[in-house]
Structure formats: structure tokens, C-alpha cells
Amino acid sequence: QVQLVQSGAEVKKPGASVKVSCKVSADTFTNYYIHWVRQAPGQGLEWMGIINPSGGTTTYAQKYQGRVTMTSDTSTSTVYMELSSLRSEDTAEYYCARSLGYCSGGHCYGTVHFDHWGQGTLVTVSS
Amino acid sequence: DIQMTQSPSSLSASVGDRVTITCRASQNINNFLNWYQQKPGKAPKVLIYGASSLQSGVPSRFSGGGSGTDFTLTINSLQPEDFATYYCQQSSSPPLTFGGGTKVEI
């Protein structure tokens, strides 16, 4: 059964960092790529980046370069997304999602659609 | 970055109606276009990938078309469970980008 299970809601102060986890099934960890997508309250969807869980390679959206770090732990089949220097505009639901295809070096390869998603993690940034 | 523009941003429809949503890319993305449905408080769900391929388990009343820069999502015979927000997403090159969404209301 495909599962992407995310960690619980977080409340952070401006300037702090947050680390959200996404535990995936073994098959997903080995054969798929994991993306992070966020959605501010009442707003649309925004792609943050992609990680190859088994190899650890990443591609980030330019907007988040220098502030986001995506990592993976092969021993627990868990992927992490850490966002630093938080500001109020980072208040959003953060989702992990998987795809068979991947993007790297300015190109995408294969079909990069998100066929399974985590349940979302609400991150609230407030003083 | 490739900009994705959806229209309309919202529409009112009735059960049984045929609904068409359009999505335009700022440059040629061939057929690298996906459609998602999102209901309040839930993660999005993929409906169509590769512009016209129906995701497994999705009802056949959903269909996608187009290539290059102009795409459509059509829902034939709208059902009560179809009232939701729909997003297009390009997967031609990073950063992957989404349209602004179309809210389908009663």
C-alpha cells in the first residue's frame, strides 16, 4: 500500500527553522522521487523542489535556494524538508508527493506527475 | 519560469452539465501537462497526466486535451462530488509550475 505520512503541525517564530518529515513505503523510497509542494491559506500550489530519496540528489526552485534543504534517511525510509529564516509568508500547508519521473539540471525526464501525496503539514509562522 | 494561466478562475455549474477549463502555458510544453482536483482540507489528486492520459481509478467523465501551449480539462455530466478546485501543472522543465486554479461551484 502506498503511504506518505507526514509529521504534525508546527508553530514557529519568524527567523526560526522548521523540519517536516515524510515517511514513505519502501517501494516508494526505492523507485520514486519525492517532491515538496506548499499551499498558503486560500492560495494555489507552489513547487519547492525534488529529492531522489535513495541517492539524495536534489533540485530546488530558485525561489527557495539557500533556505530549503531536502534530505533522506534510508534507514527509516523518511524524507525531510527543512526551511530556514521563516517569515509570516511561509505560513502554509506543506505536502510531500511522489513521481516516477524526475527533474534535474533544467530538464524533466519521464512523466512527472504526483500520483500520491502526503496528508499535509500545516506550518504557522507567527510572533 | 513557465507561467501557467487557467481560466476561468471560478465557474458555477449544475449536476449533469459539461464543464471545460482551459490552461495556457507561456511557452511550448509539448504534452507535459497534468490536471489535479483538490477538495477543501485535502491533498490534490491527479486526474490527467501527459495532457490526455486518464489516471487509474479516475472516472471516464474526465478528459484532457491539447498540446503545445493550450490545454483543456473537460468534465462530462458533472457529478456532486466534482465540485472542487482544479489545477493544471506543467512538467516540461523545473521549476514545476501550477495554474492559479479553477473553483467549480454549484
Tens-place pLDDT, residues A59-107: 999 999 999 999 999 999 999 999 999 999 999 999 999 999 999 888 9
Measured CA to CA, the distance from residue A60 to residue B46 in angstroms comes to: 22
pLDDT band at A111 (very low <50, low <70, confident <90, very high): confident
The span from the first CA to the last CA of chain A, in angstroms, equals 40
Predicted pLDDT of residue A118: 98
Q: Which residue of A has its CA nearest to B93?
A: A107
The verdict on a CB contact (< 8 Å) between B43 and A117 is yes
The verdict on a CB contact (< 8 Å) between A62 and B96 is no
Measured CA to CA, the distance from residue A2 to residue A108 in angstroms comes to: 23
3-state secondary structure of A26: helix
pLDDT band at B74 (very low <50, low <70, confident <90, very high): very high
pLDDT band at A58 (very low <50, low <70, confident <90, very high): very high
The verdict on a CB contact (< 8 Å) between B94 and A61 is yes
B21, B88, B96, best to mutate vs chain A, most A CBs in 10 Å: B96
Predicted pLDDT of residue A61: 96
Q: Which residues of B touch A118 (CB under 8 A)?
A: 43
